Amino acid sequence: MMRSADSSKVSYASAIAALNQLQSGPNCRAARQRPGGQDRSSEMAQLADLAARVGLHQTALAGLRPVHIAGTKGKGSTAAYTERLLRACGLRTGLFTSPHLVEVRERIRLNGRPISRSEFGEQFWRLHDDLTAATAATSGFEFPRYFRFLTFMALRLFVEQAVDVAIVEVGIGGRYDSTNFIKEPWVCGIASLGHDHTALLGGTLDKIAWHKAGILKPGCIGVTSPEQPAECLPVLARAAAAAGCPIRVSPRLTAFAGFERLGLDGYQQLNAALALQLARLWLR
């Protein structure tokens, strides 16, 4: 049944209830991840195919001029800083991050503001209907789970709203993350790396770096945090060379005039420095 035809079923509450059903069971995002470096290129190709069937063609995604950000210690902060910098330049922005603090709609922002409850409900059920039709029409397609569904929903909204730039934070890893069907980002950022999700990404920093570097694409510019573990840098450099993507190390925050007025320290200085470089390169 097409729920979007019934106004009582496009409410925020009904959307949240249905969305929460998508994270339960054995096929939730974490359970669907494969450990280590198993090749999942066919799965990612199928993901891009399904995305195209609900309007997320690569041409439409390229029109978002995306900033794609992975990392361990601050990818969310880097994404938020980058969005604010580009919005301050007069650009219309879309921001997709995770997790949320209070309400899931915080993950999807237009011009810095979470989308409204009514907009969330409408977008959710419209996409739900389209995905139901798409997965029913083609064998082998599974209905997307929680994070993947929200990724589709955010990017489709950004396309429909014709934002000038979409800033997209990776969920887990990068190479096989649900956001990585974006094939033509303008710039990619890799925040400081460390041990995270080791059961999924591997127990060593070089394996983790390999996953994170999977967001680097031909023709885009990659930027890494000014502080990375020594064993990660060669992995990032090799992945960038293989992808045909020049990569550079961001200057430290002290290289930017007025940095001391920001009142940041520790990893937030590194994240702000990376965001400044991503914004500068995007604007160029």
Residues shown for the chain: 284
pLDDT of residue 267: 84
| pTM for the full predicted model | 0.90
- Reported as a single tens digit per residue, the pLDDT across 93-137 is 999 999 999 999 999 999 999 999 999 999 999 999 999 999 998
- Reported as a single tens digit per residue, the pLDDT across 12-23 is 999 999 999 998
pLDDT of residue 207: 95
pLDDT of residue 26: 42
pLDDT of residue 261: 78
pLDDT of residue 1: 38
Domain borders along the chain are: 63-283
pLDDT of residue 141: 86
Strand partners, 249: 224
- Considering the four listed CATH numbers 3.40.1190.10, 3.40.35.10, 3.30.420.10, 3.40.630.30, the one that applies to the domain covering 63-283 is 3.40.1190.10
Q: Kindly report the CA angle at 93 between 91 and 94, in degrees rounded to 5?
A: 170
User: What is the side-by-side strand order in the sheet with 93-96?
Assistant: 113-114, 108-110, 93-96, 165-169, 67-70, 187-190, 221-224, 247-249
- Name the nearest CA neighbour of 119 among 110, 130, 131: 110
pLDDT of residue 38: 61
Residue with tokens 């690569």: 58
Strand partners, 96: 108, 168
Strand partners, 190: 70, 224
Q: Which residues of the chain have pLDDT under 50?
A: 1-5, 8, 26-33
Strands (E), the chain: 67-70, 93-96, 108-110, 113-114, 165-169, 187-190, 221-224, 247-249
For strands 247-249 and 221-224, give the pairing.
Answer: parallel
pLDDT of residue 105: 97
Residue type present at position 96: F
Instruction: Compute the CA torsion angle 221, 92, 52, 67 (nearest 10 deg).
Output: 20
